[in-house]
Structure 1
Amino acid sequence: MYRLTIRTRAGNATTIAVALLILIGLALPAVAPRSAIQDLFFILTMLTLAQLWNLLAGYGGLISVGQQAFVGIGAYAMFAGVILLGWNPVVAILFGGLAAFLLAIPFAYLAFRLQGAYFAIGTWVLAEVTRLLVAQWKTLGGGTGTSLPREATSAILGTDTIRALFGVRDAAARDILAYWLALVLVVAVTGGIYWLLRSRLGLALAAVRDNVDAAGSVGVDTGRLKWAVFLIAAVATGLTGGLVFMQTARISPDAAFALTDWTAYVIFIVVIGGIGTIEGPVIGVLVLFALRAALADYGSWYLMTLGVLAIAVMLFAPKGLWGLISARTGLHLFPVRRRLTGPKIEGGN
C-alpha cells in the first residue's frame, strides 16, 4: 500500500533535538553570563527576522527591501504605548504588532502594484517615507529619539520575579526577560512557518512563487495568499522590533528604521544560509554572528567581508550553505516536500 508522507527519520530526530534545545534555552540564564544572554538575544531576534523575510522571498516570491519599516513602526508603537498611554512595555510590544499590521495594509496596497525589481525598490521607498514621517513625531523625540522612562524599565512585567530568582539587577533582569521572549517568538515564528509549509497553503504558496499565472489557473487565489503572507510577516516583524527596542530602552528613527541592521543583514543571513529552507537562516545567522564577533573592530572591513562572502556564496553555492550540505548528504532537518512511500519505496533521511 502506497501513501503520501512528509515525515523523515531526520525530521523526527530534529523535533526531539529542538524540544531539548528549547528546554536548555529556558534554563540557560541560570548559568550563562549576561554577555552570553545578550548575544543569544541578538541571534534569536535576527533569526526571527530572517525566517520572516525568507517566508516572503523564499516561499512567496516577494523580494522586500523595506522590512525595516515594520521593525521601526513596531518599536515606535511600543514606545508610544509606554510613554503616551502608560502601558507596561511587555504589553506595549503587542501594540507594535498591531501598528505594523495597520502600516502593512497601505504598504501592500501600493507595493503589490509593482513587480520584480520595482517591487523591491518600492518597498524601500515606502520604508524611507515611513522613517521621515516618524522623525517628525516630536512627542517621541523627533529626529533625535528618546528613551523609556526609568520607572517603566524598572517595572517591566516579570522582572521582579527574575531579580528574585537569579539575584540580578534591573538591567540584567530585563535582558533575561527579553531573551526568553525572543526565544518564544522565534519558536512560534519558525514553528508557524514550518506548519504552514507542510499544509495545503504551503503548496499553494510554493506554486505562487514558482509561477503566479500557473498557480492562478489551478484555482489558487494568488492575490489573497500574497496579502496574507505579507501581513503575517509584518505583524511578527513589528513584534520583533518592539522587543528589540524594549531591551535597548532607547530609540531614534535612524536606529529603528536602519536598512543595514534590519534588512541588509537579514538578506545576508538568508542568502548565505540558503533561501527557501528553514535550515538556511539558522546557519546564516550563526555565520553572521561569528563574523560580527571576529571583525566588528575592523570598521568597513567587516562590511566588505560580508559583501565578498555573499558574492562568493551566490557564485559557487547559489542555494546557500545549507543547500550545498543538503545536496551532498540528502539531509532535510525540516522536511516539507511530500514523497510516496510503499512496499518498495523506503523513507528518506
Structure 2
Amino acid sequence: MTYLSSGFSVERWTRSSRSAVFGCVIVLAVLALAPPLMGAGAVDRLTALFVYVILAVMWNALAGYGGLVSVGQQAFFGLGAYFTVRLADAGLNPFVSLLAAAFITAALSVPLSFFMLRLRGGEFAIGMWVISELVHLLVNLDQLIQGETGTSLISLNAYDSATRRAAIYWMALIAMAGLLGLLFVLLRSRAGAAIQAIRDNEDAATSVGVKVMATKRLLFVLAAFGVAVAGGLWLATATTFQPKTYFSIQWTAYMIFMVLVGGIGKFEGAILGAILFFVIETYFGSMGVWYLIGLGATAVLFSLYMPHGLWGAVERRFALRLLPIGYRLTLPKYLMDQHDR
C-alpha cells in the first residue's frame, strides 16, 4: 500500500487478495494429488475443467483486457490439435508434440498478427472467423487427416490408460497454473497497463508513447499459444482428431459464454465463468440442442441485465478483490462518512 497526503491511499494487495493467492496455491497442491485418489471419470472431468479455464482466461485476456474481440479463436484450438497429430505421426513423443504444437501455432500467429491487428472492432472479429475457416480448409487437404474423416493420436496407445490419463491431467493442471500465473504477472506489469490503455483508447495510448502494435501483438500471440495448448490437451483426452470438431465456432462460443457470465475484464470472472460452464455442461450437456439454446439465452440475459458478470456484481457489492490487477484509491474516513450520509 502506498500512502498519499490527506489520508488518501493507493493499494493493490489487500488482506483478502493475499489470502486468495495462498488459497490458490493450496488448491493447486490438492489437485496435484488427485489422480491416484480419484476414479477415471472424475480425472477426465477435471482435465476438461482445466481446459475450459485456459480457454476462458485466454479469451478474456484478448477481449476483456486488450479489447480484441475475436470469434475465430477456434483456429488456434484446431491448429494446436492438428500439429500435435502431425508431430506425433513424425515420431515425436505425443506429450512433447503437444507442447511443440503450441509453440508452432504461436509462431504462426506472429506473421498473422501483422495483418489482423490492423483491423478494429467488428472487422477484427469477422476477420478472425474467416481465418479460422481458411485454416480449416487447408488442414482438410492434408492426406494424413483424410478430410473430415480425421485421424487419431495413435502413439498414445503406447501408454496404459491409467498412466496416460494421469499424465494428461498433470499436464493440463500445470498448463492452467502456468498460463494463469504468466497472465497475472503480465497484466500487473507496465505491459499490462499498456494493454488496458489500448483497450480504453488506442489513440490516447499512442499519444503517451505506448507501442500499440507491439503490445497488441504480444497479447495476440500469448492468446494463440494458450488456446493451442488447450486444443492439444483436448486431443490428448479424446485421441481422435476431426477438423470439423476442432475448428468449430462452438469453441469460441463457449469462451464468450464463460467470460460474459463470469465477468469480462475480470481476472477472477473468467475462472468463475469456466467453473459455472463446467457445472452446467456436466448436468445439462446431455439435453442436446436445448442445452445450446439455454447457453445462448443465458449469455444474452447476462449481457442485458448483468453486463459486468457474476464476479463484477460480487466485486461491486462487497468491494472484494481476490486477484487484483490494477490499483484502488482508498478515501479518507471523513470523506467515506460523508458519502455514506
User: When the two structures are superposed, what TM-score results if normalisation uses the length of structure 2?
Assistant: 0.92
Which of these residues, 4, 25, 47, is aligned with residue 53 of structure 2?
47
Residue 24 (structure 2) aligns with: 18
Aligned to 1:8: 14
What is the SS of the residue equivalent to 1:62?
coil
* Aligned AA (1:202): G
Distance in 2 between the 1:342 and 1:59 partners?
A: 26
Among 269, 277, 282, the alignment partner of 1:293 is 282
- Match of residue 160 from structure 1: none
| Equivalent position amino acid for 1:279 in 2 | E
Letter in structure 2 aligned against 1:105:
V
Which residues in structure 2 correspond to 1:149-160 (within 5 Å)?
A: 149=154, 152-155=155-158
2:254 paired residue number: 265
Pairwise CA distance, 1:34: 1.1
Shift of 1:340: 5.3
Q: Show the counterpart of 1:228.
A: 218
Deviation sequence 1:46-81 (CA, Å, 0-9, x none): 110110111100000101111111111111111111
SS of 2:149's equivalent?
A: coil
Q: Which amino acid aligns with 2:195?
A: L
Taking a change above 3 Å as real, the CA distance of residues 317 and 342 of structure 1, as seen in their structure-2 partners, is closer
| Inter-partner Cα distance in structure 2 for 1:342 and 1:62 | 33
1:29 aligns with 2:18: no
SS of alignment partner, residue 138 of structure 1:
coil
**Structure 1: runs of 5+ lacking an equivalent:** 157-169
- TM-superposition CA deviations, 1:197-232 (whole Å, max 9, x none): 111111111100000000011110111100111011
Task: Tell me if the contact between 1:269 and 1:288 (Cα under 8 Å) persists in the aligned partners.
Answer: yes
| CA drift at 1:337 | 1.9
Deviates more, 1:12-21 or 1:289-298: 289-298
CA separation in 2, counterparts of 1:140 and 1:210?
A: 43
Q: 1:279 pairs with 258, 263, 268, which one?
A: 268
**Does 1:327 pair with 2:316?**
yes
Q: Residue 71 of structure 1 corresponds to which residue in structure 2?
A: 77
CA distance in 2 between counterparts of 1:343 and 1:129 reads: 57
| Structure 1 residue 106 displacement after superposition | 3.6
AA aligned opposite 1:139: L
Contact 1:143 1:252 in 2 (8 A): yes
Aligned residues: 328
State the SS of the aligned residue for 1:7. coil
- Which position in structure 1 is the counterpart of 2:180? 190
* Pairing 1:198-213 to 2, within 5 Å after superposition: 198-213=188-203
Q: What residue identity is the alignment partner of 1:336?
A: I
Unaligned runs of 5+ in 2: 335-341
Amino acid at match of 2:156: T
CA contact (8 A) 1:96 1:241 kept: no
2:97 is matched with which residue? 92
The residue aligned with 1:142 is 147
